[in-house]
């Protein structure tokens, strides 16, 4: 009989919430990686290449919110930190939709439809 998958081996709440049968289905594909700072985890209209189950630190909504020209980026970060995955889902559903492009002046990301870059203010 195979050993039961260990839910104590992970600190990720999503993985811990899976049943032993469900965890067994994916555990052979799970690989621990250290994500570099500012690693882009998703991009519009690009295929999903990997799914990340964050165990420590946090995926920042601050940079994404600033790139999308949102004035309340810190409040979104606090909401996600306090409410976890529910706050992240709310953020993803309510954030401005559209493509992010590199600003030709400062190189930071901004909404393609934005009149000016939220980082440098250039048009």
Q: Give residue-wise pLDDT tens across range 42-51.
A: 776 778 888 8
**Residue found by looking up tokens 């440098």 in the block:** 120
Q: Give residue-wise pLDDT tens across range 60-111.
A: 788 888 888 888 888 888 888 888 888 888 998 999 988 888 889 888 888 8
123 with 115: CB under 8 angstroms?
yes
How far is it, in rounded angstroms, from Cα 64 to Cα 62?
A: 5
Instruction: Look at residues 111, 38, 109, 52 and name the one whose alpha carbon lies nearest to residue 85.
Output: 52
Helix (DSSP H) and strand (DSSP E) numbers for the chain: 5, 2
How far is it, in rounded angstroms, from Cα 85 to Cα 45?
A: 23
- Looking at residue 21, its pLDDT comes to 92
Instruction: Look at residues 105, 98, 100, 102 and name the one whose alpha carbon lies nearest to residue 122.
Output: 105
């Amino acid at each position: 009989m195979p050993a039961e998958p260990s839910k104590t081996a992970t600190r990720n709440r999503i993985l811990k919430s899976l049943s032993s049968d469900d965890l067994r289905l994916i555990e052979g594909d799970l690989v621990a990686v250290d994500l570099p700072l500012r690693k882009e985890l998703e991009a519009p209209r690009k295929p999903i290449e990997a799914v990340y189950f964050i165990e420590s630190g946090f995926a920042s909504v601050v940079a994404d919110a600033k790139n999308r020209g949102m004035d309340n980026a810190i409040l979104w970060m606090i909401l996600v930190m306090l409410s976890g995955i529910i706050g992240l889902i709310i953020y993803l559903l309510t954030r401005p939709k559209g493509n992010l492009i590199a600003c030709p002046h400062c190189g930071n990301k901004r909404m393609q439809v934005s009149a000016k870059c939220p980082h440098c203010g250039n048009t």
